[in-house]
Amino acid sequence: MASPHHFALAMADDSVGGASLAGGSSEPSKTTEAMNEGLEDLQPTPATPESRTWGWRIFALAWGSMIVNPGSISSGAAILGLGLSVPEAVSAQALAALIMIVALVLNGWAGTKYGIPFPVFARSSFGGGGAHFCTLTRGAVAIMWLSFQMWQGVLGFHVALQVALGQERVVGWGRISADLDAVQLLLLLGFLTLHAVCVHLGPSRFKSMVKLVMPALVLSLIGVLIWAGTLSSFPEAMQAAEEEASPTFQSSTFVAWMAAVNSSISMWSTLVLNVCDLSRFSPRQK
């Protein structure tokens, strides 16, 4: 009987043109080797201490690094726009997080058990052609989400530069179009270059990156809280947020609360699909 690792290896080989357990020679041909070149990331991560080095601390740092972003912040503000109070909005986010945790743990099992990434895992449900479709559509969503995050970062840096240097000096570099100036374009290219470097380093280097990113995010959030505290006290800010939020959801509070839960889940639901891309670097699911 084939071991779990042999099963995973067969799925990976089949997804990139190799031999499967169903038949065929176990010796890779030159054609197969050529097809597999550059697709090493699809091979199962060996269940060895050298390859499975991610513990719960790394996953906690990774999760913290991912959730601190402009999308999460604007999502919280949008939930208040549904007419919910701050406690109701927080409870909706908490329930959504609990549901997400269950889904992430269940779908991350394949990565921990077999060491396979999402494109290979998708074959078990959708077959070869379906796996390609799932992978490409998941990539399209990731591109859209990353583009949104980068543009929000560009706008943030652009406003900060205007405050620090003056609007005329920043905009004076020239305009590309009515909605894009030269500084914004340079900032966007900088974000693209940084992310291209991260992608080139690969998921195995992600462990080192989150150790640097998370402390920087924590310090940044502390700085934002201190700055916000100089403008208004926390109770006053929460009360003002509830008073100024104009309800855009004409329904009962419960329906609005459920819409907030659904909104929070949908923002991170795509991560459930490919969480095995990260969980395969963990030796166990505890």
The predicted-structure confidence for 213-260, as pLDDT tens digits, reads as follows 888 888 888 888 888 888 877 777 777 766 665 555 566 888 889 988
The predicted-structure confidence for 56-112, as pLDDT tens digits, reads as follows 888 888 888 888 877 777 777 788 878 888 888 889 989 998 999 899 888 888 888
pLDDT-based confidence at residue 40 (cuts at 50, 70, 90) = low
Rounded distance, CA 67 to CA 267, Å? 10
Asked if residue 7 has pLDDT above 60, the reply is no
Rounded distance, CA 122 to CA 117, Å? 9
DSSP assignment of the chain: ---HHHHHHHHHHHHTT--BTTBS-SSPPHHHHHHHTT-GGGSPPPSSTTT----HHHHHHHHHHHHSSHHHHHHHHHHHTTT--HHHHHHHHHHHHHHHHHHHHHHHHHHHHH---HHHHTHHHHHHHHHHHHHHHHHHHHHHHHHHHHHHHHHHHHHHHHHHH-HHHHHTT-EEETTEEHHHHHHHHHHHHHHHHHHHH-GGGHHHHHHHHHHHHHHHHHHHHHHHHHH--HHHHHHHHHHHPPP---S-HHHHHHHHHHHHHHHHHHHHHTTHHHHTT-SS--
Average pLDDT, the chain: 79
The pTM of this model reads: 0.70
What phi and psi values does residue 177 have, to the nearest 5 degrees? -150, -175
Give the residue-averaged pLDDT of 170-182.
86
Asked if residue 280 has pLDDT above 80, the reply is yes
Q: What percent of the chain has pLDDT over 70?
A: 81
